[in-house]
Amino acid sequence: MNAAADAGIDWARVRADFPLLAREVHGKPLVYLDSANTGQKPASVIDAVDDFYRNHNANVSRAVHALGTEATEAYEGARRKLARFLNVRPDELVLCSGTTFALNLVAYSWALPRLQPGDAIVLTRMEHHANIVPWQLVAQRTGATIKVAELTDSGELDVDGLYALLTPDVKLLGLTHVSNVLGTVNPVREICREARRRGIVTVVDGSQAAPHRALDIAALGCDFYAITGHKMCGPTGTGALWARREHLAAMPPFLGGGEMIKEVRFDGTVFNDAPHKFEAGTPNIAGFIGLGAAVDYLSAIGMDHVEAREQALLAHATEALSAVDGVRIFGRAADKAAVISFLVDGAHAHDLATLLDLEGVAIRSGHHCAHPLMQHFGVPATCRASFAFYNTHDEVDAFVAALAKVRRLLA
Ligand code: PLP
């Protein structure tokens, strides 16, 4: 369809790497357009998890036997792969269950001991609840307040409005790199530079960025960056927090237990060095080995190719969807990831999603864990079609044809 997006890659073969995409739903070929919710997994990721349990299963960082060494090497190898993928140092990368955990770790370990009455936190209107509720909990306990940066009509951040909020009382700015509802890509590098000039610590939610474009976290200039593995072809229950080394060194542990200590005595415990200080208990070893395989997989395709392919699918879908009568698209940012939120006049989002499911098309409907954004648009819910590189242009057409049919049924 689009020569630049194809870039010599056999996308049909890429798609065939994902076993689940071959199945049918309600007797129709599956059209999976919910990758912003969770991504599908290539066989290499499934095989890596399977191989670990079949051949190497042991706990990490504890046993000296061969299996223990193999498991530890594979687990730490996954950390190194992920660090390379994100262009950060492995010892600055805390492995955890996902973005929700990562943001809570910053909230409880960095913000809670530091914030006090008179301090402020700035968030944006387009945050996922995972980047709102932890800050509300911290604000309640510290007496800090929360200020909200608003959006333009096209669903972009009002950047000047945001800068106007960055007054001397602001200690922390939390913002998403890419909106899970609007697809808006925020100018994170520029915003972090401005925040840093004012001495404000920045926490970036990268859940929807890491699966879709090449990331160079070291160049972004933020203080904390959170990712979640299951949206980037990896297993559920995997993710990471990147933090500047000085923050990790200064932060107390979030959870206590095994793995995160050097020595425990009843008169005091010496904690392990970062990042292990923040990784109490047995981790999701198989999951991280799977995430390492996911990173290998994405790197082999090349994130620039992933992005170009998804942009071509987005352009196609936006044009085709706009031609359906009564469709209202939310979010028209100039820089936008392959996510389209929409409503159809006179139809409830859940009805549309349910009827599309009967056509084999899986989209999400609801508030997308972004109530404040729904309040901004004055709607309780939207439908959201989200695309990944393994989708096809035929699927875009099948989705839009199914939507037009469903719309007629509901009219
Ligand atoms: N932030 C954004 C922008 C998201 O899209 C999501 C997941 O939907 C999250 C945070 C939470 O990620 P997880 O549930 O994997 O912790």
The pLDDT, as a whole number, for residue 410 is 83
One-letter amino acid for residue 182 of the chain = L
Q: Characterise 202 by phi-psi region: left (phi > 0), alpha (psi -120 to 50), beta (else).
A: beta
State the pLDDT confidence band at 129, using cuts at 50, 70 and 90: very high
State the pLDDT confidence band at 259, using cuts at 50, 70 and 90: confident
The pLDDT, as a whole number, for residue 387 is 98
Confidence (pTM): 0.97
Two tokens at 88? 């950060």
Tell me the per-residue pLDDT of 16-34, one tens digit each, with 9 for 90 and over: 999 999 999 999 999 999 9
CA of 172 to the centre of ligand 1 (A): 20
**Which one of 96, 192, 233, 369 is the catalytic residue?**
369
Q: CA distances (Å), 146 to each of 12, 114, 124, 216, 370, in order? A: 47, 15, 10, 29, 16
Distance linking the first and last C-alpha atoms of the chain: 33
The pLDDT, as a whole number, for residue 1 is 43
Tell me which of 125, 369, 386 to substitute to probe ligand 1's pocket, judged by most ligand atoms within 8 Å of the beta carbon.
369
Surface-to-core class of residue 249, CB atoms within 10 Å of its CB (0-12 exposed, 13-18 middle, 19+ buried): exposed
Q: Domains of the chain, with CATH numbers? A: 3-41+302-410 (3.90.1150.10), 47-299 (3.40.640.10)
Tell me the per-residue pLDDT of 69-124, one tens digit each, with 9 for 90 and over: 999 999 999 999 999 999 999 999 999 999 999 999 999 999 999 999 999 999 99
CB count within 10 Å of CB 269 equals: 14
Tell me which of 37, 100, 212 to substitute to probe ligand 1's pocket, judged by most ligand atoms within 8 Å of the beta carbon.
100
DSSP state for residue 323 in the 8-state scheme: T
One-letter amino acid for residue 112 of the chain = L
DSSP state for residue 158 in the 8-state scheme: -
Q: Which of 190-199, 256-265, 303-312 has the lowest mean pLDDT?
A: 256-265
Q: Is there a catalytic annotation at residue 369?
A: yes
Give the separation between CA 333 and CA 27, rounded to whole angstroms: 37
Pocket of ligand 1 (CB under 6 A): 98-100, 128, 130, 176, 180, 205, 207-208, 228, 230, 369
Tell me the per-residue pLDDT of 320-357, one tens digit each, with 9 for 90 and over: 999 999 999 999 999 999 999 999 999 999 999 999 99
Reference 75, options 241, 367, 287; nearest CA is: 287
Residue 4, pLDDT above cutoff 80: no
CA of 379 to the centre of ligand 1 (A): 21
- Rounded to 5 degrees, φ, ψ at 14 are -60, -45
Give the separation between CA 151 and CA 169, rounded to whole angstroms: 22
For the chain, what is the radius of gyration of the CA atoms? 22
